[in-house]
Chains A and B, each alone.
Chain A
Amino acid sequence: MVKLILQRLLQMALIMAVVSFVLFLVFDSPKFKKQLAVNDLGGFAVATLTQSDYQAWLAAKGLNVPFYERYGNWLVGIAHGDFGRSFQKNEDVGFLLGRALVKTGILAFWVFALMIPLALVTGVFAGISEGRVQDRAITFMSVVFTSIPEIATAIILTVIFALGLGWLPAKSKGDGLEYIILPVLTLVLYDFGYVARMTRASVAEVMTSQYIRTAVLKGIPYRRVVMKHVLRNALIAPFTVIVLQLNWLLSGVVVVEVFFQYDGFGKLLLDAALFGDLYVVQAATLAAVLVAVLSQLISDIGYTFLNPRIRFS
């Protein structure tokens, strides 16, 4: 087990090294250097710049030293929490990123806190009553909610609860709990159907397995069969899916964050990309990859832990 974790951590470090290198390489082309100059001095000023002035500017910014040196400096900077500066917002990228991650983290926390119990309960319930009315109703509902795009759900919810009933703010420009109810609800509705259907399929499959027959025919109460025998095996597959939702909650929620004007990670990345705020894009991409790799790591280790056939082989 320890060996496996070490192995995965090492792989993770390797992936991050490769990604950071590629990321730096992409943003190190002359074109992007020019973009940096535009960000720094303004487009008009750059257009009038002479070649030697431009070189002087590069030297001043430390952009004319050899590639590996700049890459090294960049990495050392990151290690010290220095991701560069945002030209658009005139703030440290590290600070911006941290703030956005916290906000998205809050959003993700609430989405998970509501979505997972809801999806698991409905999924398990549908799975153990496969083919019956309850199952069909749940399956129908989850398909409907998953099929509606987030933007549509967001609009409908806003129209009803913010504009119609006036219970909730339409824009999430505040820190109170009421500001995140609508974005959380939108995301939960969209995502729960997916996880619920995964759970249902997994439970239904386990229910038909021979060891469940053994459990029933050894005469233990049905509740115990479900709680102890079915769930333990049926939740292995959905677990992986759930952890991977973390990924989606970080970078896949751009639409919802932008729609509700919620200052999270997705919105930060979108704004920076539209403005050409290079250091922000670079740092945000790196953070997204890190989260992706981390969630993969967690799901791998968790899967191994949940599945004794892998754990002890």
Chain B
Amino acid sequence: MSMASDAAAAAPAPKPGEGGSEVPVLECRNLCISYFTRAGEIPAVVDFNLKLMPGESHGIVGESGCGKSTVALAIMQYMGKNGRIVGGEILFNGRDMREMNEEELRQIRGSQIAMVYQEPMASLNPAMRVGDQLAEVPIYHDGATKEEALARARAMLESVRLPEPDRILRSYPHQISGGQQQRVVIAMALLSSPKLLLLDEPTTALDVTVEAGIVDLIREIADEYGTSMIYISHNLGLILETCDRITVMYSGEAVEVGTVNDVFDAMRHPYTQGLFASIPLPHADKNARPLVAITGQLPLPHERPPGCNFGPRCDHFLAGLCDSGEIPMLPITGDDRHYSRCVRIEEIDWQAAAGEGIVKSAAPPGDVVLKVDEMTKHYEIEEGAIFFAGEKKTVKANERLSFEAREAETVAIVGESGCGKSTFAKVLMGLEEATSGEVLLGNVELGKMPVEKRSPETIAKLQMIFQNPFDTLNPSHTVGGQIARVIKKFGVEKDEEKINQRVLELLDIVKLPRDFAKRRPRQLSGGQKQRVGIARAFAGNPSVVIADEPVSALDVSVQAAVTELLMDIQRENRTTLLFISHDLSVVRYLADRIVVMYLGQIMEQGTTEEIFSPPYHPYTEALLSAVPIADTKVKKRHIVLSGEIPSASNPPEGCPFCTRCPYVIEGTCETVPPPIRAFGPGHLIACHLSEETLKAMQPVIQIGEGPIPAEADRDAEKGEQVSPVAAAESERRSDV
């Protein structure tokens, strides 16, 4: 493969002769890191141990503030002005990094240890060409000349499968897409063939289909270069796809370490168990097997409880045992280097699920509440002119969207960035006017009615929960005041006394203590703020609530609680929920029906069942394959899309997906808009492939030990994993 050419020469082959007693690439022993602030010393990481052997990939997983990024930066010896290692040691190839001077560190950084960061855009110098930024690595580490360095940079860009490497070398970071930027950052990290690669949430800022490509690349690097990797993520599914071993961190401590299989299938720490119970895995179901949230909240670093940090949130907490003294990492007998920081390993029945969720009855959907008919939204943008209107360009943000939502139903709108889901929400809310088509709420036409023309009743009937709870509450008003204002505005209650009563009721509904009414947003955690957001949205008894990624900004353990709450309130009020998301796992869990969008158009819609089983739209198929699932029993067909999402201002003429579709029928898909094919009532697929071809598709996700048709394909050449029938048709038709 192409990666080999550049890498073979420099790939760190295991040193012969050392045999059995291999030196770990990296070893952290009892590492303690603190930040020193005006408030005093804040321990960020306590007693952290890690042993990374050559060629091993080690995942570190945990929620925000658990110290996982701090570990990575400590390994790099880059902790800012107020961070310091206060205990333990970090051995790189057997040498303690804390004893190295600045020059020695410099020589190791970027050549022996390299890092890939969370936000590729922010991590590249905006005022320097990509080529110059890449060339610095060979120039300063290997003494290469500028020409040599650029040639190596170009070869590396090819190795990370970037198209047009010459153009990218000449580009500034903002001129290439997010996925390309991250490939550049990875190329930069690989340029001097590091022994250790630190990946800090490398795909969090990317779309899932782009993420799948990057994950593929990372796996390939591990296989071919033999690079040891530390992969930091909050996403258990990604760790499963990339790592051999995993450390689960909680509140500054590692709570469980082991091989991925041991930790995923035979976990021995209540927090790990709670984490798995709170993420929507394929076997979860909102009615029959609901998620189980971890109660309580993450303790602040300076308010950690004595003994076990997880104690106050743990179902197995035993006073006198769990809250006294430091709790060490204890080995689990029979497993390979599997440790857990729990003193009750032997006593807990690990086979019992972490507290069954309460089984709920499904709410039968009622009449159609919201009807979207051929709704189209175009933006006109002007190319810069000196005085008068210049060349006009049309951005087709939404193109002829048609679907319905019934009472008490959850309809998910799924798609990646640029698919037009946010524009759609804006039209619904009256922040934008539809260019054509209709949006009917009951019998009121909303498409051409901006919010200032809507009556308070109409506004109250259609409310929104926003993605980022941190920015959507007014910081200078109390929580109670903000909810009361909504109640007053919508005319739900007039009397001051009754309004206050309603505020308290709403706080009860979202399970917040009543005295929160007097608090200000900054005194609330993210999950609590989102609960206030939900209370505000439901204050006017809405019939439709649009939830725009309502939990994606929250921590995993909080997500489950907020999701469950939202669904309980919905069930209670028989509200229609439009759930906008890019996360198919969550969508699978809570949606009744799904609308899959790509570049402003609906590619497929149907019930959740229909979307997740064939026939698929080729885009749905790729999307399903791209979503990482944290379950070792799940096998997926491996489909990785090449290329990037085209710009909405310049979409392909025919099918918007034709530029990346593995089944593309040349001559047809690029020019002719796809026909909408119906597979049963309400299951619509917009695709040129024939019905038989679509029906012949194999399932993407399979659970259990059954035969896995595409498992063998994983090592086959990329891009060939489309089902054979469809490929044959694509070939046949392009010949015509």
Contacts and interface: CB of A to CB of B under 8 A. Distances in A.
B172 A312 contact: yes
B107 A228 contact: no
Interface stretch (B46-54, B83-91, B117-125): B117-125
A7 B386 contact: yes
Contacts of B110: 217-220
Given A3-B386, A211-B124, A213-B78, A308 B172 contact: yes
Contact of B140 (A6, A221, A313): A221
A233 interface: yes
A10 interface: yes
A52 interface: no
A21 to B, nearest CB: 19
A176 interface: no
A215 B140 CA distance: 12
B141 interface: yes
A309 B124 contact: no
Give chain A's interface secondary structure class.
helix
A218 B114 contact: yes
Interface string B95-131: 0000000100011111100110101001111111000
Given A210-B119, A232-B127, A312 B175 contact: yes
A229 interface: yes
A229 B125 contact: yes
Given A6-B386, A210-B122, A308 B174 contact: yes
A309 B125 CA distance: 11
Interface string A175-214: 0000000000000000000000000000000000111011
Contacts of A6: 386
B117 A210 contact: yes
B125 A220 contact: no
A289 B224 CA distance: 66
Given A131-B81, A213-B123, A309-B174, A219 B140 contact: yes
Contacts of B185: 214
A254 interface: no
A210 B123 contact: yes
Given A217-B115, A218-B137, A309-B172, A211 B81 contact: no
A307 B125 CA distance: 11
A209 B119 CA distance: 11
B107 A10 contact: no
B388 to A, nearest CB: 12
Contacts of B119: 210
Interface string A1-29: 00100110010000000000000000000
A219 B107 contact: yes
Given A6-B386, A213-B78, A308-B174, A219 B125 contact: no
B37 to A, nearest CB: 13
Given A131-B81, A210-B119, A220 B140 contact: yes
Given A209-B122, A211-B122, A219 B109 contact: yes
A37 interface: no
A61 interface: no
B188 interface: yes
Contacts of B386: 3, 6-7, 10
A312 B174 CA distance: 9
A233 B127 contact: yes
Interface in A266-313: 306-309, 312-313
B40 interface: no
9 contacts: A211-B126, A214-B124, A217-B109, A218-B136, A219-B108, A219-B109, A229-B128, A307-B126, A308-B126
Interface of B: 76, 78, 81, 102, 106-111, 114-115, 117, 119, 122-128, 136-137, 140-141, 172, 174-175, 185, 188, 384, 386-387
Nearest 8 Cβ contacts at the A-B interface = A219-B110, A218-B110, A219-B109, A210-B122, A308-B172, A211-B125, A220-B140, A214-B123
Given A219-B109, A219-B110, A224-B136, 12 more contacts: A7-B384, A10-B386, A214-B123, A214-B124, A214-B185, A216-B109, A217-B110, A217-B115, A218-B109, A218-B114, A219-B140, A312-B172
